[in-house]
Amino acid sequence: MKKDIHPKNYRLVVFKDMSNEYSFISRSTINTKDTVVWEDGNEYPLVKLEISHMSHPFYTGKMKLVDSAGRVDKFKNRYKKHYDQKAK
């Protein structure tokens, strides 16, 4: 096994799911600019997530489409003419 290949700067980091405000704390080496005060009163780096196990359809069993960037609408508008011709 190779020595000294793993990072040494592990620290506690808060991960927050922005779709449902669920937060959890874990050890990570990720760099972030944001910080948050956790339940224990200490300040930790904050990583904002679009989806986590609390909002992912596979884990929740609910087929909920989270489209934060409007990509689905852009796709439908782009190919609307094609689908209209196919329906006729």
Q: Which helix (H) or strand (E) holds 59?
A: helix 57-60
**Is residue 1 assigned to a domain?**
no
Write down the mean pLDDT value for the chain. 82
**Is residue 68 assigned to a domain?**
yes
The Cα–Cα gap between 37 and 41 comes to 6
Q: pLDDT tens for residues 63-77?
A: 655 555 667 777 777
**Is residue 66 assigned to a domain?**
yes
**Is residue 83 assigned to a domain?**
yes
Contact 59, 29 (CB under 8 A): no
Domain membership of residue 20 as a residue range: 11-87
Q: pLDDT tens for residues 11-34?
A: 999 999 888 888 999 999 999 999
25, two tokens: 């704390």
How many separate domains does the chain show? 1
Contact 14, 25 (CB under 8 A): yes
Contact 14, 23 (CB under 8 A): yes
Q: pLDDT tens for residues 48-58?
A: 988 887 776 66
